[in-house]
Amino acid sequence: MTNLTTITAKPAPAETQTCWSCGTMRAVHFCEACGKVQPPAPVDYFTFFALPRKLNLDVPAMENDFYELSRKLHPDLNARAASQEQEWSLQQSSLLNDAYRTLKDPIKRTQYLLKLEGIELEEQSKTATEQARSSGQVKKQIVPPDLLEEVFELNMQLEELRGLKKAGEDDPALIEEIGRQKLELEEKHEALLHELHEYWKTWDALIEREQAGQAVPASERKQALDKLVDLLNRRNYIRNLVRDVSEVLES
Ligand SMILES: [Zn+2]
């Protein structure tokens, strides 16, 4: 006779890996055996969608998973369940939405991956900029020096135009020149996005090697992450600069 105890006894299984209801292995959201919704497990967004940490995502496939899970986790559908299960269903729904929103956006996805790898990018959002301005703090921006040099002239011209507008004056030639540079910046932004998407392949290849059990040297991993950070910083800086230019031109 089979001794069930020895078969089921695993070396301290993580609490998150077994179903609260029937005790078998479960998926992140539902138990595959009994179908019961599970308490949210502390997993990252990639794991939530059962995806490897790769940057080239099959977005339509993830979208399908999202809609299927949305339906299954919908609190109305679980209205007759015990309140604890309803609560989990709500929490899982909210996790699902966060995971989906983050992963479907190429930039957010890259930033999120970096965060998982222990790298927080300098906050460069408009809100952060405004907060920094209103509090009189200098907002830190990690901008590659060569890029700063490249846009130095434009930043000076922007300052000049801001001053003129404040004084109620105008300078059509300056406005035209800044408008021309704005177009160049927009092209540069597109080019950086393209470069970033190309670089995803390098990162994904590294993950594939790891999945295949090959050891990837830490230096190589770091190099790949540094490149992603550099591309994102450049892209974010250009995006913010385009926004600043638009604001000044439209003010
Ligand atoms: Zn179960």
CA 5 to chain centre: 43
Confidence check: pLDDT of 17 > 70: yes
Distance CA 64, CA 111 (A): 23
Confidence check: pLDDT of 125 > 70: no
Q: Which residues contact 238 (CB under 8 A, 6 or more apart)?
A: 147, 185, 188, 189, 192
Q: Which residues contact 71 (CB under 8 A, 6 or more apart)?
A: 77
Q: Is the dihedral of CA 123, 231, 183, 153 positive or negative?
A: positive
Look up tokens 């502390």; give the residue. 42
Q: What is the mean pLDDT of residues 184-200?
A: 96
Average confidence score pLDDT of the chain: 85
DSSP code, position 10: -
216 with 209: CB under 8 angstroms? Answer: yes
Confidence check: pLDDT of 86 > 80: yes
Q: What is the mean pLDDT of residues 169-194?
A: 95
1 band by pLDDT with thresholds 50, 70 and 90: very low
Q: What is the pLDDT of residue 209?
A: 96
Distance CA 65, CA 96 (A): 10
Distance 37 CA to ligand 1 centre (A): 8
Locate 245 and state its tokens. 């230019």
Q: What is the pLDDT of residue 5?
A: 32
Distance 62 CA to ligand 1 centre (A): 24
Report the chain's terminal Cα–Cα distance, integer Å: 83
Distance CA 127, CA 136 (A): 14
104 with 62: CB under 8 angstroms? Answer: yes
Distance 26 CA to ligand 1 centre (A): 7
Per residue in 29-53, pLDDT tens?
A: 888 788 888 888 888 999 999 899 9
**Helix, strand, or coil (residue 248):** helix
Top mean-pLDDT range of 66-80, 88-102, 122-136: 88-102
Distance 104 CA to ligand 1 centre (A): 30
Per residue in 170-179, pLDDT tens?
A: 899 999 999 9
Distance 47 CA to ligand 1 centre (A): 19
54 with 205: CB under 8 angstroms? Answer: no
99 with 118: CB under 8 angstroms? Answer: no
Global pTM value: 0.81
Distance 166 CA to ligand 1 centre (A): 66
Locate 243 and state its tokens. 């926004």
Q: What is the pLDDT of residue 22?
A: 85
Confidence check: pLDDT of 13 > 90: no
Q: Which residues contact 113 (CB under 8 A, 6 or more apart)?
A: 46, 53, 55, 203, 228
